[in-house]
Amino acid sequence: MKREIVDSEDVKLLVDSFYQRVNQDDLLSPVFNDFAKVDWESHMPKMYQFWESILFGSATYQGRPFPKHIPLPIGIEHFDRWIQLFETNIDEQFTGEKAEMAKHRAHTIAHIFKTKLKHLNKFS
């Protein structure tokens, strides 16, 4: 049964289920786990704060996510897959205004990151 995103518990479900998909994905998992060696225990609370800030205007996230992506071995295909997994995750579990907002913001973030990385000659 789909639900609306109404509170921090819903954001936690969104983020946890999304990163479960990422960790099972042949293209994205190596970037997070082999190259970046993400410490998931400390990373996940940051992601909860990030998405709560975006969806609810909580301003709990304090950070600059883009610089952390510069050294990663990523290309357009990684962003495309990230968006695909994110949208699938949302569409399977959530409905409503915040779900649509999350998808829209994810597209905006991916576009900004791709544009900035392209200007750094990371990929063409």
* pLDDT of amino acid 121: 80
Percent of the chain with pLDDT over 70: 99
- The residue ranges of DSSP E strands in the chain, in sequence order, are 3-4, 94-95
Three-state SS for 17-33 is HHHHHHHHCCCCHHHHH
Q: List Cβ neighbours of 58 (8 Å cut-off, separation of 6 or more).
A: 49, 52
CATH class as words, domain 3-119: mainly alpha
Domain extent listing, the chain: 3-119
Q: Compute the distance between CA of residue 79 and CA of residue 111 in angstroms, rounded to an integer.
A: 8
**pTM, to two decimals:** 0.92
Q: Name the residue among 14, 11, 22, 123 with its Cα closest to residue 75.
A: 123
